[in-house]
Amino acid sequence: MDGIDFIGDIHGCSAQLERLLQTLGYVRRDGVYQHSERRVIFLGDFIDRGPEQRRTLEIVRPMVEHGRASAVMGNHEFNAICYATPTRDGFVRPHIEKNRHQHAAFLAEYPFGSPEHRDAISWFMTLPLYIDTEAFGVVHACWCADSFRILRPHLTDTGCLSERTLSLYEDESSGVHQAIETILKGPEHPLPPSFAFTDKDGTPRSEARLKWWTSSDLAVSQRLEFGGARLSSERLAELDLLPQPRAHPAPTKPVFVGHYWLRGEPGPLSERVVCVDYSVAKGGKLAAYRWSGEPLPVRDNFVCVS
């Protein structure tokens, strides 16, 4: 096969997924979307939020199982695994109201504890946390070599979670916990108490998301994102007096991510970092990047459906 189509976060929007695959030239044969010259790599976050959880998995899973696609785990698949994994005191992801609300669309179609639910969780466990090839890298949120190094001894031979990984993740002070949080949800930077804010979902935050692909030469306010909250120019100026967040080395090859709920006209985030999440479950677009081996991504290779 000559090329790869990287497809971003679907979140249960199966109608847009089928339209995008058809736009990209994929044809459904024997129940599986396929292309004679290309294949797909999905960036995770198949579930939650959207109206068609089951149909989405019925499209994605056969493509992966028949070799027409690969996929990495998104934070929503990871959250689903943790929500279903019991501990002595409850579950790895507690069944509190906030977590139930975020997971409601999936649980409506896959009732908790049902055979279908257990089967979906088992399949999520087969998704690698990242893909690292000589030509490109794929991860849901953040390409972080240090996190990969910490996780590698605790993953399966195929780069997937194990029960031991989940057990280590339970300890929030562990390196495994922080590494998974970083690569699946993105690195965050602690803020002084005076900068605490409420994000677009109404959740109080004491940390800002780090735009890890940006240069450490930029001002602090240009390297942080505040979950949709807006800060005045005076507050931004005050923020720029804080110490610089941790720098992440720029990738030396194209890296493809999802996760970031972008808007507007698609384009690379930096010279070699491409995000293909354009907020389809919030009225945006389902995006793909058509890659044919080019070392530097270009804007013209994005394909989207509304």
The whole-angstrom separation of Cα 292 and Cα 277 is 20
Segment 33-63, tens digit of pLDDT: 999 999 999 999 999 999 999 999 999 999 9
The whole-angstrom separation of Cα 165 and Cα 234 is 44
Q: What is the mean pLDDT of residues 169-198?
A: 91
| Out of 147-161, 165-179, 233-247, 268-282, least confident range | 233-247
Domains in the chain with CATH codes:
3-187+253-305 (3.60.21.10), 193-247 (no CATH)
The pLDDT value recorded for residue 2 is 76
Which sign, positive or negative, has the C-alpha torsion 257, 262, 263, 269?
negative
**Number of separate helices (H) and strands (E) present in the chain:** 11, 17
